[in-house]
Amino acid sequence: MPYDKDFLIDRLLYRDGLILVIDKPAGLAVHAKPGAAYGQEQQDNLEHYFDALRFGLPRLPVLAHRLDRDTSGCLVLARHPKAARKMGKLFQEGKVRKTYWAICKGVPAAPSGTIDLPIYKHTDKQGWSMRTGDQDGAHNINGHKIETKRAVTTYRMLKQADGMSLIECRPKTGRTHQIRVHLNAIGIPIIGDPRYGELSTEERNHPMMLHARALSIPLSSTKPAIEVTAQTPETMEDLLQCFGENLL
């Protein structure tokens, strides 16, 4: 394993009796690939390091939601089954407010707005990817019956410079690759995205510039929501400097 077995302790952003919030590093998958063969299961992933996060409890924490391998930032872990059920309900009902920062190629036509485009999974000889559809529901696309699901993302541009834009996104749904597909759909692909958008070789070779910046978690009905923020990673700092000081 490339990381120290206790490295997540230093990346702990929040802890209570129900949940942990960690700052996930980019480039590390959250779990092993589904259906991986025995040898493939030994590939490094975030779950390998959960033992250090027991903090006296008998069970390992579990993922309460997901982040893509190449996305950094705030990730919630549930500390026991009751907490996992509670967090699952909050995410399913859209009560957890998620804020992402993305550095994109180009500038959006509108400085803020809502992207309401259904998403479906497309598979071909090159593998799979997510694509936008016309409306949610079952459709016949290129002779195949496809189920599209509604996906909604609000965004606003924080800064622009040198043909790039710093975009704040708040996904209202939790579809696979949603922010990446939605920003590409409005003409501003994320720099470093290995899959989506028309990017130059240099732009593609960057680490992906997508960061789960903050979470607001209404864990208790009688207390204020838990507010957690993850600092932007070093991999984003060079490009962030292009936007100047005093980032919001």
Cα 170 to Cα 98: distance, rounded to the nearest angstrom: 6
Cα 83 to Cα 79: distance, rounded to the nearest angstrom: 6
154-170 exposure pattern, b = at least 16 Cβ within 10 A, e = fewer: ebebebbeeebbbbbbb
Residues that are catalytic:
68
Beta-carbon count within 10 A of 136 CB: 16
CA distances from 184 to 109, 133, 189 (A): 12, 13, 4
Q: Are 169 and 185 in contact (CB under 8 A)?
A: no
CA distances from 231 to 28, 70, 148, 161, 214 (A): 17, 16, 34, 21, 9
